[in-house]
Amino acid sequence: MNKMEQQIDKTLESLDGIHRAKSNYFMYEKVMQRINNDGLKTLTRQSRIIWQMAALILILISINLLSLVYFSKTSGQSQDNVKSIANEYFSYMDPIKF
C-alpha cells in the first residue's frame, strides 16, 4: 500500500464507533409542524402581497386624480402655458416612435 491508501484507511478507521446524533424531540415536532402548515403561510403571504399591490394602485390613482384637479383649476393660465407644461411633461417620449 502506498501512503495515500494508508491515509484513506486511517481516515475511514477514525470514523468507526461514531454514532448518529440524536435530535431533540420537540425540535422534530416543530420541523414537522412547519412542513405541514407551509401551505397556510404561503396563502397569507400571497394575500398580503395582493393587498399591498392594491394599496399601491390606489395611491397612484389618487395622486393622478389630485394632479388632474390641480391642473384643471389653473384655468387662469393661457392655453399656451398649459400646452408648454404638457409638452415639457411628456418630453421624454420624443424619441419614441409609435
Q: What is the pLDDT of residues 2-60, one digit of tens each?
A: 888 889 888 888 888 888 887 787 888 888 888 887 656 655 677 888 899 999 999 99
DSSP label at residue 83: H
| pTM confidence score | 0.36
What's the confidence (pLDDT) of residue 47? 81
Non-local CB neighbours of 71 within 8 Å, separated by 6+ positions: 82, 85
What's the confidence (pLDDT) of residue 44? 66
| Residues 76-96: tens digit of each pLDDT | 556 667 677 777 777 776 666
Q: How far is CA 94 from CA 5, 81, 88, 97, in A?
A: 74, 19, 10, 8
Q: How far is CA 44 from CA 10, 31, 32, 84, in A?
A: 53, 19, 19, 48
